[in-house]
Amino acid sequence: MTEGVVTEEGYKGVGSGEKEVLSAQVKDRILTWIVQGDLAPGSRIIETRVARELGTSQAPVREALRDLATLGFVDMQPYRGSRVRKPSKKEIGESIEVRVELEALAGKLAAVRRTENCLRDLKQLLSEMMEAAVRDDAHEVAKKNTQFHARIFEAAGNQTLERLWSMLEPFSLTYLTASVPGVDQQWLSGRHQLILDAITEGHADRAAETMRIHAIEAAKLIEEFEHPELESQ
């Protein structure tokens, strides 16, 4: 067995609890790729490539893809492999309606429960986002954008809220906001400074409203953008 790699044979000898943990880790990694736009809607997911990237066998990758298919994030077809599912505009619209309120609640709770570690992480992510915006690197802006919001939900200290966001984020396609033609990357990144200021100062209501406004702005960008990654219906 190659060091650091779980082979197919080795995977069969792993206990059921360990298998579930490994499969969950692979699922989380694939979901992160989907959320950040590294795996765009409609793109093919090659099990061998994912296994090689993560240093594991195909078995946990296959199990992870089955779980993601059950959740509606992946399409699996016999003899045709797996692809990231293209959400319809209706699905995106419905998920955004819910997400707007989740974002507001997360901002409110984060302003109350913020820690120095949280604020440091958010400042660092915002700095990296702004640097990417200056370079006009839309993909990196989108990635840091997603990580920034994920950190706020983590800072909110409510696991149920965090799980709901994780379920909706792949359907919200936040990363598309940075790829809309004509969008000012520095303006988009700068909107997050208002969020950070409200959280840093502990203004719960202002943090909630700023998050809500930002989510609505992002939703409008996505809804008005005719993107090939989206299904029309």
For the chain, the structural domain boundaries read 15-84, 89-224
Rounded to whole angstroms, the Cα distance separating 151 from 125 reads 9
Q: Does residue 225 carry a pLDDT above 80? A: no
> For 96, what's the count of Cα atoms within 13 Å in the CB-facing half-sphere?
22
Task: Calculate mean pLDDT across residues 217-221.
Answer: 78
Task: Say whether 80 sits in a helix, a strand or coil.
Answer: coil
Integer CA distances (angstroms), 198 to 18, 179, 211, in order: 42, 27, 10
pLDDT of residue 5: 40
Give the model confidence (pLDDT) of 186-204 as tens digits: 887 888 999 999 999 999 9
Beta bridge partners of 76: 82
Give the model confidence (pLDDT) of 89-105 as tens digits: 787 778 888 989 999 99
pLDDT band at 176 (very low <50, low <70, confident <90, very high): low
- The chain-wide mean pLDDT, for the chain, equals 82
Fold of 15-84: Arc Repressor Mutant, subunit A (1.10.10)
Rounded to whole angstroms, the Cα distance separating 102 from 206 reads 15
Give the model confidence (pLDDT) of 28-79 as tens digits: 899 888 877 788 778 899 999 999 999 999 999 999 999 988 888 899 988 8
Its pTM stands at 0.70
Q: Residue 2's CB: how many other CB atoms inside 10 A?
A: 8
**Domain at 89-224: CATH architecture:** Up-down Bundle (1.20)
pLDDT of residue 231: 56
Name the nearest CA neighbour of 82 among 132, 30, 38: 30
Burial class (CB in 10 A: 0-12, 13-18, 19+), 194: middle
